[in-house]
């Protein structure tokens, strides 16, 4: 009995870690198209100085920095080995696109919940075939 409980616990931990890992990879892969659409450019480090700067970035997070007095934003994709780089205007467009995507997703989820909720109400007030025609029971 004790081994069965430990087996269930280990399977639950494995499923939880796979779920969290799947969420992390989904969010990272969905950020890159938004960055590209907003005007960020994909750059691969070409020399030692660029590689050093690339290694200092936190992976899968948009970070702010200054270069020659200009505000720049960078996003490091470790899997592909590239950094997405953009200016203030590109970052503002990225934020706008992210908010629009979040609103669209929330509206879609609300519509799905409304649809699922409505399925339980059809026929709730009696045995009718359509709009006001009762079923005859002899």
Tokens describing residue 18: 């796979």
pLDDT at 90: 95
Residue-range definition of the domain harbouring residue 84: 25-116
105-138 pLDDT, tens digit per residue, is 998 888 887 776 666 555 555 555 555 555 555 5
pLDDT at 99: 95
Its pTM stands at: 0.61
Whether 51 is in a domain gets the answer yes
Whether 47 is in a domain gets the answer yes
Whether 91 is in a domain gets the answer yes
Whether 35 is in a domain gets the answer yes
27-68 pLDDT, tens digit per residue, is 566 899 999 999 999 999 999 998 999 999 999 999 999 988
Whether 124 is in a domain gets the answer no
Number of domains in the chain: 1
Whether 62 is in a domain gets the answer yes
Whether 122 is in a domain gets the answer no
Q: Could you count the other beta carbons within 10 Å of the beta carbon of residue 95? A: 13
N-to-C CA span, the chain: 58
Q: Could you count the other beta carbons within 10 Å of the beta carbon of residue 100? A: 11
Of 69, 61, 65, nearest to 94 (Cα)? 61
Whether 20 is in a domain gets the answer no
């Amino acid at each position: 009995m004790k081994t069965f409980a430990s087996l269930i616990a280990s399977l639950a931990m494995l499923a939880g870690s796979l779920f969290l890992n799947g969420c992390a990879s989904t969010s990272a892969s969905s950020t890159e198209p938004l960055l590209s659409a907003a005007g960020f450019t994909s750059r691969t480090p070409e020399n030692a100085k660029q590689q050093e700067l690339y290694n200092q970035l936190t992976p899968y997070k948009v970070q702010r920095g200054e270069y020659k007095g200009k505000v720049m934003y960078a996003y490091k994709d470790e899997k592909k080995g590239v950094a997405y780089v953009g200016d203030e205007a590109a970052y503002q467009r990225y934020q706008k696109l992210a908010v629009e995507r979040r609103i669209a997703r929330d509206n879609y989820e609300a519509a799905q919940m409304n649809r699922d909720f409505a399925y339980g109400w059809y026929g709730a007030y009696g045995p009718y075939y359509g709009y006001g025609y009762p079923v005859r029971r002899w």
